[in-house]
Structure 1
Amino acid sequence: MAIRLLILVQLVLPLVAAAPRSLEAAALHPIVLVPGYATNELDARLTELYRPSSPRCGERKGKGWFRLYLNYSALQDPANVPCFAEQMSSVYDAASDDYYNVPGVETRVPSFGSTQAFRFPDPDRKNFSYMNAFVERLEKMGYRDGETMFGAPYDFRYVVAPAGRPSKAGDAFLRALKGLVERASRLNGGRPVTIVTHSNGGPLTHQLLVRQPLAWRRRFVRRFLPIAAPWGGIVVGMLLLVSGNNYGLPFVDARALLAAGRSQSTSIWWLPSPSPAVFGTTQPLVVTRSRNYSAGDVAEYLVDIGLGEAVGPYESRVLPLFGAELPPPGVPVTNIVGVGVGTTERIVYPGDGFHGTPDTVAGDGDGVVNLASALAVETQWKKDYRLVKVSNVTHNGLVADDRALDIVIREIQRAN
C-alpha cells in the first residue's frame, strides 16, 4: 500500500507544480498583435541591379542583409539620410498597377510570428519603442511569445489594394497573417484568437477579415480589438505629402525624406475619406489664399502639390476601400479610440501655394487620428460592437501610457 501511495505522489506532484501555469494558460485565448506604421524592423540587401545615387549609398552592395529600419545611429549622420531615403523608396508601375522596391533593393521583415520585431525597432539601442510596455503587460497576464502571444510585423511601406487589383506585398502579408491566426489557434487547442492592432494595423486587419468566409472568421477569431485605427484617413496625411515624415526622429530633416514618403502606397491610404461618415466633401481641410480643399478634392490636391502621378492609384486603390462605408468585419469588435488631444483638423497656408510653414487648426482626436475617422465605423458596425474612449492620451500613448494600458488590458481580459 505504501509503495502504491509513493507512486501516486510521484505522479501527482509534478502535475500540481505545473498547475498554476496550465490553469493560467487555459484562461487565455491566444492573441495576435499587429503593430502600426514604422514600428517594426525592416531589413534590406543591395543586389547588382542597384544603382546608387552616390558611392556612399552603394557601400553595402553585395554584402548581404542589414537593418534598414531602424538604424538610429546611422541616421544621426546627415550624410546617411539620402541613402536611407533612396532605399526606403518604392516605385509605382502603372503597367502592372502595383508598387515595388527600387530596383536592386530587396527587403524582408524579420521575426514574423514574434513580438521581438516591434518591441524595439532598433534593438541595438533600445531607445525608441512604444510597444514594449504593452508586450510586458501581456506577459504579466500570462501570455508567452510564440506560445499564446504572436506578432505580425510587416513592411509598413505597403498596404493592400481592393480585391481584383494586384498588390504583391499587401497580399503576401494578408496570407501570412491568416496563417498566423490559424497557427495560434491550433497551438492553443483550437481556441479562437483575439487580434489586437494599433493604428495602421487596424485597417489592414479589417481587410483580412472581410476577405475571409464567415465560417473562417467565426472559427478562428474571438474578438477584433483595434486601437487608434484611422478608419477614414487622417487630415495630417495631407500635410505629410508636402512637408515630409521623419518617423518621429527629431534629428532627421523631414524634407529629406519627402520623396521617399510620397512614393509609398501607405501615404495615400492616409488621405481623408470623402465618405459622409468621415470628412464628407464640403469641410475645408487644406486652405490656401486662392482655394479650399475638402476630402472630395483630394485628386486635385495631389495634382496641385506636384504629385499628379498618385491620382490614378488613389482613385483605383484607395477610394474603393475607404470612399464609402466599411463593411462589418463579421466578428465581435472593441474599438478603442483616443479623445481629448488636439488633432490637426485644418491646414492653412499663408499664400496661394504650399510654401512656408502652415498654421493648423486643431479638433478632437488622439493627436494623429481625427475623432471623425476613429468613429467612422460606429454607426455601421452595430452588431457586437463596443466603443471604448480613452481621454487625454496620445496616439502612441494608447499602447504605452500606464492608464491607457490598464484600459486596454481590461478589454483583453473581457475577451478572455
Structure 2
Amino acid sequence: MILLTLVVAAAALWWSSSRPRMHPVVLVPGYASNELDARLTELYRRPGCGAHKGKKSGWFRLFLNYTALHDDPDGVRCFADQMSTAYDAASDDYHNVPGVETRVPFFGSTRGFRHPDPDRRNFSYMDKLLERLEAAGYRDGETMFGAPYDFRYAVAPAGHPSRTGTAFFTSLNSLVERESQLNGDRPAIIVTHSYGGTLAHQFLIRQPLAWRRRFVRHFIPVAAPWGRLVLGMQALISGNNLALPFVDPGALRKEYRSLQSSLWPLPSAKVFGAGQQLVSTRRRNYSASDVVDLLVDIGFGEGVEPYESRVLPLFKELPDCPRVPVTCIVGVGVATPERMVYPGDDFEATPDVVVVDGDGLVNLASLVAVEPEWRRRGPYFRMVKVANVNHTDILVNDRALGIVMREIR
C-alpha cells in the first residue's frame, strides 16, 4: 500500500512537472451560451409535447436544438413549456415545471459551450476564444476548464434558498480547487462573459478572502453588466428570443418571465438614477426605481415578490470589490438603448428607442459602474475599453481577443 502511494505521488509529480507552467483558466460563459439537457417523466402532461417521454435514452438536448425550433411547427411551443420554471412562494425557490428534469452536460469542460447547437455549429460566442487559448497551449480538461450552468436560474441573497444556484457554486468551488492542484497548485484565472461575469462575481464574494487569494490569480470579466441594463425591462415587456431571429420574442415571453434569471438584468437605480426615465408610455414614466410598478403594469405582478426578496437585496448597492486582481474588458462606441418610448397607454406597440453609448446591449454607465470603487479597494484593477465592438463580437473580434489573451497571464 505504501509503495502504491509513493508510485502515485511520483506519477503526479512527473505529470505536473512535465507540463507547461501555465495558470489554469476557468471560463464561465454568458447567458444562454451553453447546452442544457432535459428528460420528461410520466408527470409531464403538456399535450403534443411529449415526443421524448418514455424513450429509453431519456435525456435529450433542450437547448439548443435548432431543428426543433426552426423546422417543427410545435417546436417553439414545446420548447417554451419545457424551458419554463416556476417560483414557489412556500419554499421560496424556483423549480422546473412538473415532469421535466434538467441537467447541464460537460461541466468542467468547454465542450458544452463551444457551440450551443453542436449539430449545426451555426454560431458560437466562445469558439474563437477557445481556439486562441488552444493555440497558446491550453488544453481542455488539463489547463482550460469550463463552468457551464443552468442560465434559467440564479442565486439568492442570504436567508433565501437557491438549490440550483448553490449547487453550481459548490461545483465551481471544487473545480477551481481541483484544477489548481492539477496544475502545480497555481491559482486560477477566471474569464467570463456578460451574465457569467455577474454570476462569477457573486461566487467570488461568497468565498472567504483567504480562499480567493489562494485560488484566484486574476478575474477577467468581459462585457459584464454591473448595473444591469435598460433592455432588461424591454425583455420582460416583449419577451426574449435568445438571439434566434426566426423565433418571435412574444412566443417566449411567458417562459422568459417564469425564470429567476429574467429579473437579474433589471436596471439598478444606483447606476441609472431614481429620476431618469427609462420606459415611457403616454400616461406614465418609469425609472429604475419604478421596477415594481412596471412589473405590475405589464401584467407580471407575480414577479414582484421574488424581485423584492431575491434580486433587489443583491443589487441595490454597487457590486462589492472581490479584492482579487481584476481586468474588466468592455466594448464602447456602439448605440445602446437607454429609453423606450411607447406611443400609447400600453406596451403593445413598438417603442421609439433613445440610444446612448455602450456595447449595443449594456449601457456604458453599467459597464464601468464598478471602476471607482474597485480601483480604490482592489489589489489591482484595469478597465479596458474596446472601441466600436459590440456585446457579442467582443469575443469574436480579433482586436478584442488580443486584449483578452494579453490579460490571461
Percent identity of paired positions between Structure 1 and Structure 2: 67
Match of 2:44 in 1: 50
Distance across 2 between alignment mates of 1:394 and 1:249: 17
Aligned residues: CA RMSD: 1.5
Shift of 1:225: 0.4
CA contact (8 A) 1:78 1:252 kept: no
Q: Which amino acid aligns with 1:271?
A: L
Shift of 1:106: 0.3
Give the alignment partner of residue 142 of structure 1, picking from 120, 137, 141.
Answer: 137
Match of 1:39 in 2: 33
Shift of 1:407: 1.1
Match of 1:229 in 2: 224
Match of 1:409 in 2: 405
TM-score (norm 2): 0.93
Structure exhibiting the larger radius of gyration computed from Cα positions: 1
1:7-406 residue pairs with structure 2 within 5 A?
A: 25-26=20-21, 28-52=22-46, 54=47, 56-63=48-55, 64-76=58-70, 77-275=72-270, 278-382=271-375, 383=378, 384-406=380-402
Distance across 1 between alignment mates of 2:19 and 2:129: 19
Shift of 1:357: 0.7
Shift of 1:327: 1.2
Shift of 1:337: 1.1
- CA deviation string 1:374-403 (max 9, x = no partner): 111111112221111011111011111111
Distance across 2 between alignment mates of 1:294 and 1:202: 25
- CA deviation string 1:70-125 (max 9, x = no partner): 00111113321100000000000011111100011000000000000000011111
CA contact (8 A) 2:227 2:318 kept: no
Distance across 2 between alignment mates of 1:22 and 1:311: 55
What SS does the corresponding residue of 1:266 show, helix, strand or coil?
helix
Match of 2:4 in 1: none
- CA deviation string 1:291-348 (max 9, x = no partner): 1100000000000000011111111111111111221112111011110011110011
CA contact (8 A) 2:204 2:322 kept: yes
- CA deviation string 1:125-164 (max 9, x = no partner): 1112121111000001110000000000000000100122
What SS does the corresponding residue of 1:58 show, helix, strand or coil?
coil
Structure 2: gaps of 5 or more residues: 1-13
CA contact (8 A) 1:326 1:380 kept: no
Shift of 1:51: 1.4
- CA deviation string 1:258-308 (max 9, x = no partner): 100000011100000111xx1121110001111110000000000000001
Distance across 1 between alignment mates of 2:193 and 2:18: 29
Distance across 2 between alignment mates of 1:265 and 1:243: 17
CA contact (8 A) 2:26 2:146 kept: yes
Q: Which amino acid aligns with 1:47?
A: T
Q: Which amino acid aligns with 1:62?
A: G
Distance across 2 between alignment mates of 1:195 and 1:266: 21
Q: Which amino acid aligns with 2:232?
A: G
Distance across 2 between alignment mates of 1:85 and 1:94: 22
CA contact (8 A) 1:344 1:361 kept: yes
Shift of 1:62: 2.2
What SS does the corresponding residue of 2:272 show, helix, strand or coil?
coil
Distance across 2 between alignment mates of 1:331 and 1:358: 42
TM-score (norm 1): 0.92
Distance across 2 between alignment mates of 1:165 and 1:42: 25
Runs in 1 of length 4+ with deviation above 4 angstroms? 21-24
Shift of 1:23: 8.1
What SS does the corresponding residue of 1:25 show, helix, strand or coil?
coil
Match of 2:5 in 1: none
What SS does the corresponding residue of 1:186 show, helix, strand or coil?
helix
CA contact (8 A) 2:94 2:260 kept: yes
- CA deviation string 1:11-68 (max 9, x = no partner): xxxxxxx9xx978721x2100000000000000000011111x2x2012112200000
Structure 1: gaps of 5 or more residues: 1-17
Q: Which amino acid aligns with 1:406?
A: G
Match of 1:14 in 2: none
Provide closer, same or farther for how the CA distance between residues 357 and 331 of structure 1 changes in structure 2, counting only shifts above 3 A: same
Distance across 1 between alignment mates of 2:18 and 2:332: 37
Distance across 2 between alignment mates of 1:146 and 1:60: 31
